[in-house]
Amino acid sequence: MIFNSFNFIILFPLIFLLYYAIPAKYQNARNLFLLAVSYLLYLQWKPIYALILLGVTVVTFYSALAITKAKRPKWTVTVGVLLALFPLTFFKYFNFINETVSDGLAIVGLNFHLAGLNWAIPIGISFFTFQALGYLWDVYYKRQEAEHDFFTYALFVSFFPSILSGPINKASLIIPQLKQLRPYFDYSKAVEGLKMLLWGMFMKVVVADRVALYVDTVLPSYENYTGLSCFVASLLYTIQIYADFAGYSLMAIGVGKVLGFELTENFHRPYFAVSVTDFWHRWHISLSTWLKDYVYIPMGGSRCSKLRNYWNIFVTFLVSGIWHGANWTFIVWGCMHGICQIVEKILGQQKCNYGWFGKSVKIIITFLLINFAWIFFRMPTLADACKVIARIFDPTLPTTIYKPEISNTFFMVSALILLLLKDFRDEYYPHRILLFENRFAIVRWCAYILVMILIMLEGVFSADQFIYANF
Amino acid sequence: MLINLFTQTFSGMKRFILRIVLFFSIILIADVVLGRLFSFMVSHAVGGDNGRVNYICNQTNEDMLIFGSSRANHHYNPQILMDSLSLSVYNCGEDGNGIILNYGRLLMIEQRYMPKYIIYDVSCGFDLETNDNHKYIGKLKPYYERKGIKDVFVSVDMTEKWKMLSQLYRYNSSFLTVFDDYLHPNQSMGFQGYRPYEGKMDVRTINSKKEFKKHVEYDSLKLAFMAKFIEHCNDVKMIFAVSPVWYGRDTKRLRPVIDLCKQHGILFLDFSNDSKFVHNNEYFKDDYHLNAQGADEFTKDLIQELRMREII
């Protein structure tokens, strides 16, 4: 469900009321209701793709059960993983693999080309597949008991707040919540959820979508803009992707809380990171945890030789790049993050052992490195990314800058300042200048109302999707 | 204990719902109060963007109106047209907009009068191509209650009629300009709506190897509005024009408009590949917009063409 859509404003109160109309003692009925809602919302996009969601759920559910009984669980888990990965590979990577193989063969003079697919990728496929695979491996590594109730498991895979763009929840976090008797209604959790929903909405429609107006003007036609404009657009894209994805995650976690669930935290003010390694402890935490648990550690993690450890880091971030999309730009982006972390490890720069000045310098350097990598993430091809970078560093280009109309600039700058102040406060002074958490109700309410009015007056309400919904 | 838990959680739910109701009641009051304030300011704006839009929707009485996007607004100099043709002219072109906004404005204008001539500067992106149509209704929001405008909104998005219940939504992203135009009534509305671009283009920002989209996905809604626009201008002498582009342009992409012109016997003038302008840096501010000098030259050429074809 797209949280900044009109449908959400209409449907969510309805879901809320119907859900809480079911008495808490009928826990299974409540779970079945959420499962039905999750599938109905998924069916809205492309009904046939719900079969893929169901297929991945069935395969991983029965594979997990089979692992517990199998004599050779390694074989069972391998078959289960391959089957669960098949739709993701087919829909997301077929064209990429096909083109790469054809291009490779063409180099040696062989002309072999299969027709490409022209199908839309099932929405959220990377998220629910990885969530289901995580469960399967947890059962295999005996970190999680196999779930015997299919409907509980199906709800874990398809839970509507997180199916579109995560967080990628661990079974050990969600399944116990689905199984234990939840209180009828948790007032403080619901209020906390609404606050997250409100701030997440602010981040998405007031910050991300406003900044996107600049980014989407400059970067697609970068040839017509100066290097300085391209640089500013790249900085703004860095902010856009954060506000977009962290905003979505906050809303997903908020919706979960309103319904009484705790989902995985996904962001922790990533642009205050002092190194790229630190960045990955703060950015898309659920994915980096997944990659650590199911790629990095099984390969040996850091309990091996230095060289092997560097290789493990590199492969982990290569997988991260591939997960994001079937394009060389994502692979280069992933490799850059891997290489940066290896260099930091060699130089012992993963943490910050300096004073505030050194820390500030490290934060700025990390931000610029990450910003540089985002250029590859944003541009459609490697050639385009390289051309944008070349423009940024081209001294012969004029130093003029693209300026949107003055009101747009005001909205953009004011939204960025508000976001920066909020994140700065949360990072360094979490117990000062409290607004949403102020002990005086009047201050809290003024803050809620002000943010809501800002959303209505400054928000960009077009038909835009969340960036990560494409992955 | 169970009963205790039940009454606690039930009262928690009651408290939660009451607070939600209170929250939205406050938002509703703010919505009505601020909405009325903005509505008052817009209707009393006599300068700046809002003054110009008010003039277009409520006061235009000129013989000739120019419609289109920023290319219309910055390319057609009413002074030259007025001096040469002895007609009164107003330039209604609007940056980043196309047929959806222009059709809405025409509906408001025709409630009062119809001009003798309309020149429509057509551009593929804003008038024909499929893209997000929500952005084209933004400047119609304050005029939502006017006859026919609601239908334009509903055609773009069914949910707009619900969203427009909010007064704040109507002034979304425009309230700063509303304040500014109200507080500073002497701001320029351009000369007869025309706002020329000063200065010359920086050739270093031009990509001479630029590749253009070959395939255009036409938007049936925009085409329908284009056809309606023409129908409403039955008694008006209409001219569709494509003003110069630095790169030159493949006019085949405008085929649906050319067909409509043929069908209704409307003159279609294409200056996009005019050798006088193509790749002539002197006349452009950027690759899609003429500067003041280029606009003057183009307007003169247009007049010559209209005279030669005995349109005016």
Which pLDDT tens digit goes with each residue over A382-414? 999 999 999 999 988 888 899 898 889 999 999
Q: Is A180 found in the same domain as A201?
A: no
Q: Is A240 found in the same domain as A172?
A: no
Q: Is A216 found in the same domain as A139?
A: no
CATH of domain B63-136+189-308: 3.40.50.1110
Q: Is A370 found in the same domain as A266?
A: yes
Helices (H), B110-174: 124-127, 149-156, 160-163, 167-170
Q: Is A371 found in the same domain as A449?
A: yes
A26 Cβ under 8 Å from any chain B Cβ: no
Residue A169 to residues A151, A156, A318, A428, Cα–Cα distance (Å): 17, 8, 22, 28
The whole-number pLDDT of residue B266 equals 94
Does residue A122 have a cis peptide bond before it, meaning omega lies within 30 degrees of 0?
no
Residues A395-404 as b/e (b if ≥16 CB within 10 A, e otherwise) read eebeeeebee
B174 Cβ under 8 Å from any chain A Cβ: yes
Q: Is A220 found in the same domain as A160?
A: no
Please provide the average confidence, as pLDDT, over all residues in chain A.
Answer: 92
Residues A377, A382, A387, A389, Cα dihedral to 10°: 40
- Looking at the predicted structure, is the pLDDT value of residue A37 above 80? yes
Query: Does A450 reside within a domain?
Result: yes
Whether A461 sits inside 8 A of B210 (CB atoms) is: no
Shortest Cα–Cα distance, B245 to chain A (Å) = 14
Q: What tens digit of pLDDT does each residue of A203-246 get?
A: 999 999 999 999 999 999 898 889 999 999 999 999 999 999 99
Q: Is A246 found in the same domain as A98?
A: no
Mutate to test the interface with A, among B5, B14, B16 (most CBs of A within 10 A): B16
Chain B residues with beta carbon closer than 8 angstroms to that of A457: 168, 171-173, 175
Query: Which of A191, A411, A453 is the closest to B173 by Cβ?
Result: A411
Question: Which of B220, B227, B231, B225 is closest to B260 using CA atoms?
Answer: B227
**What φ, ψ does residue B270 adopt, rounded to 5°?**
-115, 110
Terminal Cα distance for chain A, rounded: 15
B203 Cβ under 8 Å from any chain A Cβ: no
Provide the residue ranges of all domains of chain B, joining segments of one domain with +.
63-136+189-308
Query: Does A336 reside within a domain?
Result: no
Number of domains within chain A: 2
Q: Is A265 found in the same domain as A249?
A: yes
pLDDT lower than 70: segments of chain B:
1-9, 204-214
Per the structure block, which two tokens stand in for A408?
């747009």
Chain B residues with beta carbon closer than 8 angstroms to that of A211: none
Q: Is A149 found in the same domain as A88?
A: yes
B161 Cβ under 8 Å from any chain A Cβ: no
Chain A residues with beta carbon closer than 8 angstroms to that of B205: 223-226, 397-398
Query: Does A388 reside within a domain?
Result: yes
Q: Is A75 found in the same domain as A23?
A: yes
B206 Cβ under 8 Å from any chain A Cβ: yes
Question: What is the domain range of residue A426?
Answer: 188-274+352-458
Query: Does A331 reside within a domain?
Result: no
Query: Does A305 reside within a domain?
Result: no
Q: Is B84 left (phi over 0), alpha (psi -120 to 50) or beta?
A: alpha
Whether B176 sits inside 8 A of A185 (CB atoms) is: no
Given A160, A185, A210, the domain boundary residue is: A185
Query: Does A463 reside within a domain?
Result: no
Query: Does A283 reside within a domain?
Result: no
The whole-number pLDDT of residue A223 equals 87
Task: Cite the active site residues of A.
Answer: 324
Whether A224 sits inside 8 A of B6 (CB atoms) is: no
Query: Does A299 reside within a domain?
Result: no
Q: CB-based burial of residue A292 (10 Å sphere; 0-12 exposed, 13-18 middle, 19+ buried)?
A: middle
Given A185, A200, A218, the domain boundary residue is: A185
At A464, the pLDDT band (50, 70, 90 cuts) reads: low
Given A152, A185, A218, the domain boundary residue is: A185
Chain B residues with beta carbon closer than 8 angstroms to that of A400: 202
Q: What tens digit of pLDDT does each residue of B205-263 get?
A: 666 656 566 678 999 999 999 999 999 998 899 999 999 999 888 788 899 999 999 99
Please provide the average confidence, as pLDDT, over all residues in chain B.
Answer: 91
Q: What tens digit of pLDDT does each residue of A173-200 get?
A: 999 999 987 888 999 999 999 999 999 9
Residue A40 to residues A26, A121, A153, A367, A455, Cα–Cα distance (Å): 21, 18, 17, 41, 28
Q: Is A211 found in the same domain as A126?
A: no
Q: Is A198 found in the same domain as A176?
A: no
Cα A335 to Cα B53: distance, rounded to the nearest angstrom? 52
